[in-house]
Amino acid sequence: MRQVKIITDSCSDLSKDLRDKYDIDYVHMNTVYEGKETPASLDWEYYSPKELYDIMRAGNRVLTTQVPQAEFEKVFSAYAEKGYDIIYISCSVKQTNSVNTGKMVALKVMEKNPAATIVCVDSYNSSMGEGLLAIRAAELRDKGCTLQEIEKELIRIRKTINEFATVNTLDFLKKAGRVKASAAFFGNLLGVRPILIQEKNGHQTAIKKVKGRQNSLNEIIAMLKNAIIDAENQTIYVVHADCNPDEMKDFQDALKRELNCKDVHISYMGPIIGASCGPETVGIWGWGKEVTYEIQ
């Protein structure tokens, strides 16, 4: 049986320790600022998290691109030529067209490497929701599952990833086209913090508003507590857009206390998701009830 390589993209927010642990690679998207395109590295080689988020704090907008065709060709070809089959797990197609570009390139690469099989799966998620699906794919691979078995299972479980996030403002998400226009009524009222989820079809949407920063953090913990299944055997994943370290330590303690989870992993929100959400965004993810909320 051929080896299987798990590949995701810059939207997955998988930190290096997680990619190394689970043997996952990723294809790069790009950020664009002042006309300069820079690879959206999850290892922050080109700029630090503070540098990126300070640009946004100053009122500037950082643009993003999907995964370039040439990037797919380079990465897919490299692994196919080494004898791997490939499963690419993408950010939701409702937020980027990268999965369709990946499918197009996969056909070309398989023509040149007829022994290779490449499948592209829409995660229906973004950020660590996409990352969680990639981690599960790696776990299935390591149990000896075939490429087809992994693909089938990912499609079955992708709607059981539960995301709850809070942002300081919807401005960045609306400008990036990452939230539905129906969320605009939340506005940016003084002190109000929107709560966001990934709905069942892969849209990012605001579903409620909470007064005050601390209340919004408490609310996303409460919402995950209500949605999660088997918390004591799970690692809860947190990503943040350059938040205060003391605030994140208190948040981690609250998660462990309220959910009684096995562990909490905290890392930076990567450049693509961060450029869309804005500074001080916090998101949490865990496996739980099937997501049924749907934008009408």
The alpha carbon of residue 66 and the mean position of all alpha carbons in its chain are separated, in whole angstroms, by 14
Q: What does the pLDDT read at residue 168?
A: 80
Mean pLDDT of 189-206: 86
Q: Which amino acid, 193?
A: R
Can you read off the two tokens belonging to residue 2?
């051929």
Q: What does the pLDDT read at residue 180?
A: 58
Q: What does the pLDDT read at residue 29?
A: 98
Tens digit of each residue's pLDDT (9 = 90 or more) over 18-52:
999 999 999 999 999 999 999 999 999 999 999 99
Q: State in words which class domain 160-287 has.
A: alpha beta
Q: What does the pLDDT read at residue 183?
A: 46
Tens digit of each residue's pLDDT (9 = 90 or more) over 122-175:
999 999 999 999 999 999 999 999 999 999 999 999 999 999 999 887 777 776
Mean pLDDT of 202-211: 89
Is the pLDDT score of 189 beyond 60? Answer: no
Q: How confident is the model at residue 185 (pLDDT cuts 50, 70, 90)?
A: very low
Q: How confident is the model at residue 181 (pLDDT cuts 50, 70, 90)?
A: very low
Tens digit of each residue's pLDDT (9 = 90 or more) over 59-116:
899 999 999 999 999 999 999 999 999 999 999 999 999 999 999 999 999 999 999 9
The residue ranges of every structural domain in the chain are 3-158, 160-287
Is residue 143 within 8 Å of 21, Cβ to Cβ? no
Q: What does the pLDDT read at residue 177?
A: 61
Task: Please classify residue 60 by burial: count the beta carbons closer than 10 Å to its beta carbon, then call 0-12 exposed, 13-18 middle and 19+ buried.
Answer: exposed
The three-class DSSP label of residue 106 is helix
Is the pLDDT score of 295 beyond 90? Answer: no
Tens digit of each residue's pLDDT (9 = 90 or more) over 248-283:
999 999 999 999 999 999 999 999 999 988 999 999
| CATH T-level topology, domain 3-158 | Rossmann fold (3.40.50)
Q: Please spell the DSSP secondary structure of 197-224, one letter per residue.
A: EE-TTS-EEEEEEEESHHHHHHHHHHHH
Strand duo 192-198 + 161-166: pairing: antiparallel
Cα dist from 23 to 69, 102, 127, 131, whole Å: 23, 20, 18, 12
Is the pLDDT score of 245 beyond 90? Answer: yes
Please tell me the distance from the alpha carbon of residue 14 to that of residue 42, in angstroms, as a whole number. 7
Please tell me the distance from the alpha carbon of residue 291 to that of residue 161, in angstroms, as a whole number. 7
Average pLDDT, the chain: 93
